[in-house]
Amino acid sequence: MRTPRMLLDDIRNNHALHFIEGTVRYLTVEEGGRTKPIFSGYRGQFHYADDPVLVFDGFQYFPDYRDDDSVPLGATVRTHIGFLKERWNDYHSKRMSVGSAFQIQEGTKVVGRGTVTGLVANPPAFDSGRS
């Protein structure tokens, strides 16, 4: 089974990434959110809250959770989202700032809402041994 750490290593070896830090709240089933749990490595579609049509893939990791622990739906959690460096340079760096609102979608379905809390160039270290 491929872990989020293995996926991140593959991505780092083949693509340069730029990470942001943020908080995100994934909607509950009752709120119209996902029916399945979310784990580190989740790749929901990143949308700017003021432009829900424009879509970007973002690799999401949750530093406060072990790789095999699901993120509780309905809770606000810290996240690191990685974008391809080329897209960061061409688009996100000109548009994003601390405090920017975003949505995580699956197609047209909003499954999470968040806020950017930091812009970081280097990928964060992921610890699959957190308890």
Taking alpha carbons only, the member of 117, 121, 112, 118 closest to residue 37 is 112
pLDDT the model gives residue 78: 94
Helix (H) or strand (E) holding 103: strand 101-106
Residue 129 lies in a domain: no
16 neighbors 85 (Cβ within 8 angstroms):
yes
Residue 126 lies in a domain: no
For the stretch 73-117, pLDDT in tens is 999 999 999 888 888 888 888 888 999 999 999 888 999 999 999
Q: What is the CATH number of the domain that holds 102?
A: 2.40.30.10
| Domain housing 20 | 4-120
Positive or negative torsion for Cα 93, 59, 70, 32: positive
Total of domains in the chain: 1
Residue 130 lies in a domain: no
Residue 87 lies in a domain: yes
Residue 125 lies in a domain: no
24 neighbors 77 (Cβ within 8 angstroms):
yes
Which alpha helices (H) appear in 15-126, and where do they start and end?
85-87, 93-95
Residue type (1 letter), 48? Y
Please state the pTM of the whole predicted model: 0.80
Residue 74 lies in a domain: yes
Residue 60 lies in a domain: yes
Residue 131 lies in a domain: no
